[in-house]
Amino acid sequence: MSTATREEKRQLRHARVRKRVFGTTDKPRLNIFKSVNHIYAQIIDDTAGKTIVAASSIDKELKGRIKTGGNIEAAKLVGGLIAQRATGKGIGKVVFDRGGYLYHGRVKALADTAREGGLQF
C-alpha cells in the first residue's frame, strides 16, 4: 500500500471536485492555485477552454505593494485585482474552484476580497 503525499491528496480532491464544478461563458470558473511563495487566480471559461482573466502575487501591478507573495495580505491584494479585472471584462458571477485546498487562510482571504470587489459566487 503506497502512501500519497500531501500534494497528491490535494490533486485527488481537486480532480473529484472538477467533475462537478464547470465554468460556462455566463458563469466562468474562478480557480486558485497556491504555492509556498505565491498565490495565483484565474477565471476560466471551460466551454471554450480559455483563461479570461488572471492575477497573481507576481503581477507587475502588485510589485511594490507585496513584500512576500505567500501570505494573507498578498492573497487579499490578488483577490482585489482579480475582481477588478473581471468586472472590467463584464464578469459578475463565477463558480468558485478552491483547487482542493481548505477554505481557510489565504484561500478564504482571496475569496472574501474578490466578493467585496464585486464578484458573486
The residues spanned by each domain of the chain are: 6-13+21-115
**Region 6-27: what's the mean pLDDT?**
93
* pLDDT > 70 in the chain, percent: 98
pTM, to two decimals: 0.92
Amino acid 1: pLDDT: 54
Neighbour-count burial of 1, counting CB atoms closer than 10 A to its CB (0-12 exposed, 13-18 middle, 19+ buried): exposed
The set of cell numbers assigned to 20 is: 462537478
CA distance 120 to 116: 9
* Domain 6-13+21-115 listed as CATH 3.30.420.100: yes
For the chain, what is the mean pLDDT?
94
